[in-house]
Structure 1
Amino acid sequence: MPTVTAPPIDIGIPEAQRARIAEGLGRVLADSTVLYAKTHGFHWNVTGPMFNTLHLMFMEQYTELWNALDVIAERIRALGHVAPFGGSTYSGLSSIPETHGVPAALAMVRELVEGHEAVARTIRSVISLADEANDQPTADLLTQRLQIHEKTAWMLRSLLEE
């Protein structure tokens, strides 16, 4: 049986630009994965008077993040690159620090605000690459993600106000 070779990718974005965008999306994926894991861990371990509220809120947030991971990774693949994976890879790519120990409930909220803001900053750094390449699908994906992270940070931040 003859070997079939896939044709080169020709979507109107040169390889060098696709590579830069995919690298940036890899950082968004890493930030999102680390934030997902942190949010899920906080969901499991939150205690105190706000337990029920935070437990349910964190579940909504980690579910939304989980669903986003596939969309981000698939965009990287559509650009012709391998989506990064693995804990040490994500640790090296992510701008979100790992949590040590189990923080108090409001400290968890504060860490999640910081995490969502970190993802927003990473996204902003990649949107410009997508815009320069006329890559509307990536720009659209990132714009949607940015709205979600900024809204979630605002909602979490409101819990910290007196």
Structure 2
Amino acid sequence: MSDTNTIGLHEASATQLAEKLNELLANYQIFYMNVRGYHWNVKGPEFFQLHEKFEEFYTDLLTKVDEVAERILTLGHQPVHAYSDYVKIASIEEDKNVHDGKACVRGVLKGYQTLIELQRGLLSLASDADDEGTAAQAGDYIREQEKTVWMLGAYLD
């Protein structure tokens, strides 16, 4: 019996990667709901601009949630799918009752910074496992989100 899965990765590596991807998935889900809440609840003079931008962010986050879950499945594992598990696993915490535009933007910035940190760890692990698929996905997300972090920082300055 082979110690590799159907895509040719060592089972032990695939299991470790799936665990990290499930951690990432949990963070994406909590962050998605936070941004959705900012979209719904933001108030103030920049309402229209922020309301629209938060919709752009949460739409992209939802796409990434699906892509991360599908990568876990591709590795031969099951994505976590209960919100109660997300809350236990995620390092991003639920952000409740935030209405102020700048506070919402700070929440988005902090969320993206957390995702980037997690994805850098995942990228390193994937590279060590010769998992180009996971590495490419993490690298693409990092590149895109680093630019978003820069822009959010510029907004808050």
Structure-1-length-normalised TM-score: 0.91
1:10 shift after superposition: 3.3
Deviation at 1:79, TM superposition (A): 0.4
Q: Deviations over 1:28-68 (max 9, x none)?
A: 11111111111111001111000011001001000011111
Please point out which of 33, 41, 55 is paired with 1:45: 41
Q: What is the alpha-carbon distance in structure 1 between the residues aligned to residue 13 and residue 130 of structure 2?
A: 10
Equivalent-residue separation in structure 2 for 1:33 and 1:147 (angstroms): 20
CA RMSD of aligned residues (A): 1.2
Instruction: Find the partner of 2:30 among 26, 30, 34.
Output: 34
Q: Larger radius of gyration, structure 1 or 2? A: 1
Within the candidate set 143, 147, 150, 1:154 is matched to: 150
Which residue matches 1:66? 62
Percent of matched pairs sharing the same residue: 38
Whether contact under 8 Å (2:24, 2:115) holds in the other structure is: yes
Extract structure 1 runs of 4+ deviating beyond 4 A.
none
Amino acid at match of 1:82: Q
| Corresponding residue number in structure 2 for 1:143 | 139
Residue 124 of structure 1: how far off its partner (Å): 0.8
Q: CA deviation at 1:103?
A: 3.9
Aligned length: 154
> Residue 102 of structure 1: SS of its match in structure 2?
coil
Gaps of 5+ in 1: 1-7
- TM-score, normalised to structure 2's length? 0.93
